[in-house]
Amino acid sequence: MQIILIISFAHHKGGTGKTTSCLNIAGFLHESGKRVLVIDCDPQANATSGLGIDPRSDRLGMYDLFMSYAGDYPEVGLADIITETESGIFLAPSSLDLVGAEPYLYGINNRAEILKDAIAEIYDAYDYVLIDTPPSMGQFVLNGLVAADRVVVTFDSGIFALKGAEALTAIMDDVETFVGEKVVADVAVLTRWDQNSGSPVVDEGFGARLKQLFFGTPDSGVRDEETKRLAAFEDDVKKSFGTVYAVPFDTNIQKAQVNGLTLAQFAPECEAARVYREIAEKLSSQ
């Protein structure tokens, strides 16, 4: 066995569904019988908690791995920190401590290749490695891009999402210029996308009722304008990416994460699961 594909999930803007997409694609790759490793490079540690591991525990994690390259610190490799989660997916966990590692990396000449080198040491242990990167332009994003064979960029419908993608493109150009690594970002995922009305749904239940009470229901003219804006948004994304997927809003996503599971285990037949299954099948066939 050897790694078939290393996939990084990235976007400069937060809240675009990076972690959600990473975990649920990992879930369907695992369900297809593959050994899947998720590497959580985000100090927020949402992928870690989303797979049922407490980021506040004393276990070794990505902080320890990066710090072991930064000087007088015990040597720690990926094999030392990986744990199998209840979902069956393997995890290299993160924690808030990871924030403290980044300043030390600037004194390392090959700092952009730390994660790539670490993955090389476990190359025969997994079929797929998925990397969840933070919403930033720092060293952990850079490491995720350099280590990856493919990059999946996630979008919400906010007006700043495309600008964030432009910043990410600039980083990828810098990677190729200064590191000599070609980064391919040709898959985009539109998250929380309501394909019926063209409008993303951001809340439901009491929150939605409260919002309606104070602000009322948008009239048809407002909805039409929003539909047009989102259609134009989707067209812009398609101009930059070879393949674009739209994942509908689905309450099962949050429920699955609360239970430390992916949609593949929690609600495999829901609408969002159907799209994530399609993405996983497409990535695994290339």
Q: With contact defined as beta carbons under 8 Å apart, do 262 and 26 qualify?
A: yes
Whether 217 has a pLDDT exceeding 80, the answer reads no
Contact 89, 27 (CB under 8 A): yes
Confidence bin at 14 (pLDDT 50/70/90): confident
CATH number, residue 108: 3.40.50.300
Q: What does the pLDDT read at residue 198? A: 42
pLDDT of 271 over the 80 cut: yes
Look up the pTM and report it. Answer: 0.85
Q: pLDDT confidence of 72, banded at 50, 70, 90?
A: confident
Alpha helices in the chain (DSSP H): 18-31, 46-50, 62-67, 78-81, 102-105, 114-120, 139-147, 161-174, 205-215, 220-240, 251-258, 263-266, 271-284
Confidence band of 160 (pLDDT split at 50, 70, 90):
low
Residue of 38, 64, 33 whose CA lies nearest to 52: 38
Mean pLDDT score across all residues of the chain:
84
Phi-psi category of 51—alpha, beta or left, where left has phi over 0 and alpha has psi -120 to 50?
alpha
Quote the number of domains for the chain: 1
Q: Is the pLDDT of residue 155 over 90?
A: no
- The 10s digit of each residue's pLDDT in 85-109 is 999 999 999 999 999 999 999 999 9
pLDDT category at 202 given cuts 50, 70, 90 is: very low
pLDDT, position 252: 95
The mean per-residue pLDDT over the stretch 125-150 comes to: 93
Region label for 260, one of left (φ > 0), alpha (ψ between -120 and 50) or beta (otherwise): left
Q: What is the rounded CA–CA span in Å between residue 4 and residue 26?
A: 13
Q: Using CA atoms, how far apart are residues 159 and 157, in angstroms rounded to an integer?
A: 7
Which of the four pLDDT bands, split at 50, 70 and 90, describes residue 141? very high
The answer to whether the CB of 30 falls within 8 A of the CB of 36 is yes
- pLDDT of res. 167: 65
Interval 42-59 mean pLDDT: 95
Burial class (CB in 10 A: 0-12, 13-18, 19+), 118: buried
3 state SS of 180: coil
SS3 155: strand
Q: Would the pLDDT of 244 be above 60?
A: yes
Q: Give the pLDDT band of residue 205 (cuts 50, 70, 90).
A: very low
pLDDT digits 0-9 by tens, 178-197 = 667 777 777 889 998 765 54
* Residue span of the structural domain in which 201 resides: 5-284
